[in-house]
């Protein structure tokens, strides 16, 4: 019996030694990893600029309606030239004006229950779109505002709000991403100094989508915003950068 107890004690002691050895080995590996792992600092940098649109796109749709197809077309063929003449009289070059093809829609009557009677035609609706693309922002804006005066002449015209664009956005994007990257490094260095560390090399950088808002607006979208309703815009570029850190 005594011999059995001694053997059992030896087994327990041996198991304890093996277990402690495993724990110590794992701890040693962990300490090694902690001492030698790459310390990282992730920061976000940004850049913002105020820009002014250099291109305007304006559309106006002229419509006519009549029970007879020929009559609807006759009205449209008179009204569209009146509108294009009005646009040219505002000093807009003919080369900047585009007139679309005629679009025709059949209008069907409805029965007493509101069901459309597709086998019958009550009238024809015809329309053409006049589009102006120009670098003269002020002139085309005034024209878009004054175009509705043609309604007084019996012309059915629908003037859309102008779209204001910036054609040098690709070039601007490169410049702003460089500024945002520089801002990210400055922020990283400030954080490192406050923690007694030092920034080393850039490990990675991810460029976010650009946000283009009307001036003084701050809307942000994961897909990016692209304002076309205002002449002046604020553009923001974002960069998320990861830096190596020594002594963190």
Topology of the domain covering 39-54+166-248: Translation Initiation Factor IF3 (3.30.110)
Measure the CA–CA gap between 184 and 178, rounded to whole angstroms.
10
CA 56 from centroid of its chain's CA atoms: 19
**Element containing residue 40 per DSSP (H, E):** strand 40-52
pLDDT (tens, 9 = 90+) of the chain, 248 residues, equals 544 444 444 444 444 444 444 444 343 333 333 333 557 889 999 999 999 999 999 999 999 999 999 999 999 999 999 999 999 999 999 999 999 999 999 989 888 888 888 888 889 999 999 999 999 999 999 999 999 999 999 999 999 999 999 999 999 999 998 999 999 999 999 988 888 888 888 888 888 889 999 999 988 888 889 999 999 999 999 999 998 888 65
Tell me, which fold does domain 56-165 have in CATH? Answer: Alpha-Beta Plaits (3.30.70)
- From the list 164, 100, 88, the residue with the least C-alpha distance to 126 is 100
Does the CA dihedral 165-168-170-174 come out positive or negative? negative
Tokens linked to 92: 């807009």
């Amino acid at each position: 019996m005594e011999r059995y107890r001694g053997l059992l004690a030896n087994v327990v002691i041996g198991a304890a030694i093996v277990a402690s050895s495993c724990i110590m080995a794992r701890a040693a590996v962990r300490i090694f990893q902690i001492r030698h792992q790459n310390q990282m600092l992730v920061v976000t940098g940004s850049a913002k600029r105020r820009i002014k649109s250099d291109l305007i796109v304006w559309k106006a749709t002229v419509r006519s309606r009549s029970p007879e197809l020929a009559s609807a077309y006759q009205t449209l063929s008179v009204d569209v030239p009146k509108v294009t003449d009005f646009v040219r009289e505002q000093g807009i070059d003919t080369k900047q004006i585009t007139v679309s093809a005629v679009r025709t829609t059949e209008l069907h009557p409805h029965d007493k229950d509101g069901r459309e009677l597709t086998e019958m035609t009550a009238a024809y609706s015809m329309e053409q779109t006049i589009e102006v693309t120009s670098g003269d922002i002020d002139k085309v804006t005034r024209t878009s505002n004054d175009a509705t005066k043609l309604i007084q002449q019996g012309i059915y015209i629908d003037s859309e709000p102008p779209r204001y664009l910036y054609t040098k956005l690709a070039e601007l994007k490169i410049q702003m991403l460089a500024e945002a990257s520089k801002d990210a490094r400055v922020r990283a260095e400030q954080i490192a100094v406050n923690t007694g560390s030092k920034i080393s090399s850039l490990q990675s950088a991810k460029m976010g989508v650009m946000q283009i808002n009307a001036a003084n607006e701050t809307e942000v979208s994961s897909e990016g915003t692209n304002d076309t309703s205002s002449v002046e815009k604020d553009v923001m570029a974002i960069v998320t950068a990861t830096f190596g850190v020594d002594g963190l």
